Structure 1
Amino acid sequence: MRPFYALTFTAVLFFGLLSAGSVSAQDTRFAQFYTSPTQLNPALIGVFDGQYRLTANYRSLYSSILGRESFKTMAASAELRQRVSRSRDYAGFALNFLRDQVGASEFKQVRASLGASYMKQMGGSGYRSADQYLVAGAQLGIGQRGYDWGKLWFTQQFDQAQAIVNYSADNGEGFSQNNTGLYVDFNAGILWYASFEKNMSIYFGGAIHHLNTPNISFLDQADEKLYSRYTIHAGGELPFTDQLSFLPAVAFMSQGPSLSTTIGGNFRYTNKDWRELAIRAGVWGHVANKLDKGLEMDALIFAAILETGPLNFGLSYDVTTSLLSTANNSRGAFEISLIYTSPPKTKRFAVACPRL
């Protein structure tokens, strides 16, 4: 697939979905945050070893309780990276899309954005020296929220004689605005990383989403600001042998009164007889603040990734560890990720980047 067609396809996909849908109240969270880089930090745009990268993520949360009305999150992105003149600096470009939905009213949020980054080489390209880059990135996009008013019913619509809901009857609420207006959304981030040798790297970054705190109210005369989300994340890769390495990572997020931290790591194993095949597996923990109890670990995440050359396929499952486990039998969230990275044309165009 050529880069132009890949970007065109993604653009048609997310702008089509944006016009068709409306849109969830809080920022979504992926357990495999490292497989959705442009949603985590705009500075991760272009940070991959290849010509372009296509990413897709899907998450289903609490289907054991909510059934078909569970939280469903979909995200997709397409990225390109270009060398800047004859330097070892690079510019990255991305299209990003996210859609969230939950509940009987199909309450949704949709966000679509264009992103760009600049990768400044800070050192490396020499014998036994680490390749180091400082990356700054930003995203500018639009968003919207909405729900299906026709799928809600109120007391006035309940026919007691027949014990049914008459959806055609007046609900007495005097409000039926299904969508917020389109709002502008701005995100920015920064990242530093160093790649020392094969299977050894480190990175550290931070981002602020919704810098402009857009108005997300359904009421024309009201002002309901979306909290800015602050993210700090770090990780790397530590080799044990040529075949086995460990990829630890942590992501801390703060948005209004809410705090969220995911920490853990994946072991990665490959073998020269496998050629381009590798497997990863690991355990992660998610800690969040319960507003009346403080911080609490609410999920244990089991993750696995299959690498087949340019294609990575990831699966994860959240096991609920909070008091909610009595209601959902510890069955939390199921998540899928798919990443395709087109290999560089030649070694000359290869860029040393950390594995996420």
Structure 2
Amino acid sequence: MRINEPEFNKKPSLTFSENYKIQMVRFYLLAGLVAVLSVLQLNAQEARFAQFYANPMYTNPAMTGVMEGQLRFTANYRELYTSILGNDGFRTISAGLEIRRPVGRGNFFGFGAQFLRDQAAGNFTRNTGVLSGSFQKKLAGGRRGPTYFLSGGAQLGFGQRGFDVNKLWFSNQFFVDDINRTAFIDRGLSSGEAFGAANSGLYIDFNAGLLWYGVMQNGTSFYVGGSAYHLNEPNISFIGLDDPLARRFVGHAGAELPLGSSGFSILPATMVQIQGPATSATAGANFRYSQKDWKEVALRAGLWAHVSNRLDALAMDAMIFTAVLELERVQFGVSYDITVNDLKLSNNGRGAFELSMIYVQKANYRSKVECPTF
């Protein structure tokens, strides 16, 4: 089957050979851009969410079940560079379910499960799932004073990585038709390449984390946590070689700080990730507004910055704008990344679009539920 891509410009002032060279330059520039974007994505090893505070189990296993309720469902969707790559952009979907149960005097257990699917360049996919648990120990607190908790969590995970060989083509399948003045790809011919398995096989993964948080009587809350993913460094090779998945280390912190009695509060937060040679950080704040007449309704808007390492130096990649609508039990979030590094010349600054949803069911047990605002 012949696919007329790319098709040649037929201006009479240019010869076929000149047109061929121009089109091939364009073709290789596009291919190079796709390769650069793929390297940037895979260099980070893991999917990234701008709204990391809306994806607790992916940020820290110790956050499993840390909520003002007894059940929480989370869903996140992110797409990156689809403005220039179309269906070959990067897309990530995750969904998680958690429950929180009291145990002892003021302590809690958290249990959860999460699934994540990451698709890169329309061909490479990552599927992961985890079973997550935490124990939230009340350190101090009373009716009139602040309450402090220390939470420890762990996850048992499973994963698989794969690609679709049928969506790839190689030089043996690329031809130039001098008669019809077109270039085409014949996927019916052999690529001449030898592949092993099209997936990495199922691997087992272990993650763990700690979280310390406090809740004050005046509405102030704060948290500090750290986590480590892929502690066992599972082998993710496609061809039976030794290709360990580098450990991912996460440090994060945040707070809610009321601004007097105006109904406004500020929610600053930051997260730093290190995985192999890749380092990245996101920092910023959401401004929250609510009033008594709104009952459980609140609005948030924020600005964030994302930086990552380039040639051993940190440089800003994107500015992130966020908006959140809080209802009685459901929270909806949307964010948009504006590219500010050199890639903005290719995508006109159009980076990533992200959606999040959190549903929390209120607790029906007597134990007082205290939780920081994420």
- Give TM-score, length-normalised by structure 1: 0.89
> In the alignment, what sits opposite 1:167?
187
> In the alignment, what sits opposite 2:206?
186
> In the alignment, what sits opposite 1:153?
169
SS in 2 for 1:197: coil
Hey, what's the Cα distance between the residues in 1 that align with 2:312 and 2:232? Answer: 31
Query: How many equivalent residue pairs?
Result: 327
> In the alignment, what sits opposite 1:317?
336
Hey, what's the Cα distance between the residues in 1 that align with 2:351 and 2:368? Answer: 40
> In the alignment, what sits opposite 2:217?
197
> Aligned-residue CA RMSD in angstroms?
1.3
Once the two structures are TM-superposed, the CA of residue 176 in structure 1 deviates from its matched residue by 4.9
SS in 1 for 2:269: strand
Alignment of 1:88 with 2:106, yes or no, is yes
> In the alignment, what sits opposite 1:245?
265
Hey, what's the Cα distance between the residues in 2 that align with 1:337 and 1:351? Answer: 24
Q: Which residue of the other structure, out of 133, 137, 140, is the alignment partner of 1:120?
A: 137
Runs ≥4 in structure 1, deviation > 4 angstroms? none
> In the alignment, what sits opposite 2:57?
38
* Contact 1:199–1:245 (CA under 8 A) maintained in structure 2: no
Paired-residue identity, %:
47
Per-residue CA deviations over 1:83-131 (Å, capped at 9, x if unaligned) read 11x4211100000111100114x1010100100000000000332x111
> In the alignment, what sits opposite 2:116?
98
SS in 1 for 2:154: strand
Given residue 152 of structure 1, which amino acid in structure 2 is its aligned partner?
Answer: L
> In the alignment, what sits opposite 2:254?
235
* Contact 2:196–2:238 (CA under 8 A) maintained in structure 1: no
Alignment of 1:267 with 2:287, yes or no, is yes
Once the two structures are TM-superposed, the CA of residue 172 in structure 1 deviates from its matched residue by 0.8
Given residue 329 of structure 2, which amino acid in structure 1 is its aligned partner?
Answer: P
Given residue 52 of structure 2, which amino acid in structure 1 is its aligned partner?
Answer: F
> In the alignment, what sits opposite 1:350?
368
Once the two structures are TM-superposed, the CA of residue 260 in structure 1 deviates from its matched residue by 0.5
Alignment of 1:280 with 2:305, yes or no, is no
> In the alignment, what sits opposite 1:52?
71
* Contact 1:287–1:296 (CA under 8 A) maintained in structure 2: yes
Given residue 179 of structure 1, which amino acid in structure 2 is its aligned partner?
Answer: N
Hey, what's the Cα distance between the residues in 2 that align with 1:294 and 1:334? Answer: 26
Given residue 77 of structure 1, which amino acid in structure 2 is its aligned partner?
Answer: G
Once the two structures are TM-superposed, the CA of residue 137 in structure 1 deviates from its matched residue by 0.2
Q: Unmatched 5+ residue regions in structure 1? A: 1-23
Hey, what's the Cα distance between the residues in 1 that align with 2:203 and 2:151? Answer: 27
Given residue 50 of structure 1, which amino acid in structure 2 is its aligned partner?
Answer: G
Hey, what's the Cα distance between the residues in 2 that align with 1:192 and 1:293? Answer: 31
* Contact 2:112–2:131 (CA under 8 A) maintained in structure 1: yes
Once the two structures are TM-superposed, the CA of residue 324 in structure 1 deviates from its matched residue by 0.9
Hey, what's the Cα distance between the residues in 1 that align with 2:98 and 2:273? Answer: 24
Structure with greater Cα Rg: 2
Once the two structures are TM-superposed, the CA of residue 284 in structure 1 deviates from its matched residue by 0.4
Per-residue CA deviations over 1:233-287 (Å, capped at 9, x if unaligned) read 0011101134111110000110001110100001110011112110001100011
Given residue 56 of structure 1, which amino acid in structure 2 is its aligned partner?
Answer: A
Once the two structures are TM-superposed, the CA of residue 191 in structure 1 deviates from its matched residue by 0.4
Alignment of 1:135 with 2:151, yes or no, is yes
Hey, what's the Cα distance between the residues in 2 that align with 1:81 and 1:227? Answer: 31
Hey, what's the Cα distance between the residues in 1 that align with 2:218 and 2:189? Answer: 68
* Contact 1:53–1:78 (CA under 8 A) maintained in structure 2: yes
Instruction: Summarize the alignment of residues 212-231 of structure 1 with structure 2, pairs less than 5 Å apart.
Output: 212-220=232-240, 222-231=241-250
SS in 1 for 2:273: strand
